[in-house]
Amino acid sequence: MAGRRVFVSGVGGELGTLVANLLENEPWVGSLSGIDADPPRRRLQRTTFHRISPDDHDTIVDTVTKFNPHVLVHVGVWEPDARAAPRVAAALTDQAAVSVLGAAAECRALDSIIVRSGIEIYGRGPGSLTRPDEDAPLRPTSEWGRTVADIERTAANVAERVGVTVGAVRLASVLGPHVPSPLGRLLRQPVVPFHATTDPPFAVIEHRDAARAIVAAARNQLSSPVNVVAPGAITCLHAIRRGQRIPLPLFGPQWWFARQLSHITGAPIPDHVSEALTRGRLADNGRMQALLGMTPDTSTTEVIDHLYRWPRVIRKQARVPAAEQITPDEVSA
């Protein structure tokens, strides 16, 4: 198995860069290559990076087919209101998926496809305490849920056509110091809204655990979906109190106004985040150990605590160095 060629799409994002970092230390990995519209967030030692826009279909296809990977890791997805507005994010994600996964079908050496997905693929569910497992029906009720469902469907079609395995890593909301996340951005606001009558629980995943899971999926040639969710759960009000924020209780119709106001203040609330805060978002992660050989190191509560410990930008008034200050004599002169 040593010396396998691995191609990573979305390597410029925080999660994609971290995945490539971990893959560089895997003994079974030979050459590594990756693409993204933006450069990697940290130094990569062995990964050949190609800066290509998602809409440059021909260049993407040419780059992937020339590399001819054994394993394709597709994390080139844009969560709504993370790095781009919902419509732009959906368009970029679709362009990248069509180009990258379509190119994979032309690679003769390919034998495994791993795609990033999300537990939003299960939809709202019948209740806030529902923990769907991987066999649950797929009923996405948000734009992000429908997007990851389309990615899984496209990857499955390609895999079936060329006779390779495909695994979907269904992540909970990913939070980390440099991970653009609409949920993380909202929870760090001075005033945070929560559902006053239900305040349902939700779960998240720490960015390093998410990257470890994706690498484990590539190593094990995952051939089925797997839920990757940190143990435990937390409610929005509980998170607000741990972060010493001001809670803003809301009822049904008030959420629409809160979403408009939050967008103006720089923390948009896309529909999948709104669902998590008003209906809950949980999933069963019982198959992680069997399918990936790992479990998360960080619980949901610990992830939230880390969220509130991230450094903040502190603005200070500019000061003129003492040696450069103008004296009263110079002013009178």
Contact 268, 182 (CB under 8 A): yes
Examine the pLDDT at 283 and tell me if it is beyond 50.
Answer: yes
Q: How far apart are CA 299 and CA 172, in angstroms?
A: 12
How many Å apart are CA 100 and CA 63, to the nearest integer?
9
Widest pairwise Cα distance in the chain = 86
Residue 263: pLDDT band with limits 50, 70, 90: confident
Q: Report all structural domains of the chain as residue ranges with CATH numbers, in order of start.
A: 4-177+203-230+284-298 (3.40.50.720)
Is residue 133 scored above 80 in pLDDT? yes
Give the per-residue pLDDT at 251: 86
For range 246-275, the mean pLDDT: 88
| Of residues 263 and 54, more confidently modeled | 54
Give the pLDDT of residue 328.
53
pLDDT of residue 169 exceeding 50, the answer is yes
pLDDT single digits (tens) 30-47: 999 999 999 997 889 999
Which position has the higher pLDDT, 327 or 3?
A: 3
Percent of the chain at pLDDT above 90? 80
Mean pLDDT of 124-139: 82
241 pLDDT above the threshold of 90 = yes
- The residue that leads in pLDDT, 255 or 214, is 214
Write the DSSP symbol of residue 37: S
Least confident of 35-49, 97-111, 147-161, 300-314: 300-314
**Of 101, 138, 108, nearest in space to 123 by CA:** 138
Of 174, 171, 190, residue with least CA distance to 308: 190
- Quickly state the pLDDT bin for 331 (edges 50, 70, 90): very low
Q: Stretch 168-189: mean pLDDT, rounded?
A: 94
Q: Please give the pLDDT value at position 325.
A: 53
pLDDT average, residue stretch 273-288: 94
Q: How many CB atoms lie within 10 A of CB 329?
A: 7
Q: Are 171 and 210 in contact (CB under 8 A)?
A: yes
Angle at 236 between CA 253 and CA 238, to 5 degrees: 140
Average pLDDT over residues 102-131: 88
Give the pLDDT score at 119: 97
Region 75-95: mean pLDDT is 93
pTM of the entire predicted model: 0.90
Which residues face 242 on adjacent strands?
none
Percent of the chain scored above 70 by pLDDT?
92
Higher pLDDT, 330 or 283: 283
Distance linking the first and last C-alpha atoms of the chain = 80
pLDDT of residue 178: 83
* Rounded-to-10 torsion of CA 26, 69, 292, 168: 150
The pLDDT value given to residue 262? 87
- Residue 269, phi-psi category: left (phi > 0), alpha (psi -120 to 50), beta (remainder): beta
Tell me what pLDDT residue 41 has.
Answer: 79
Mean pLDDT, range 95-104, rounded to an integer: 94
Mean pLDDT, the chain, as a whole number?
Answer: 91
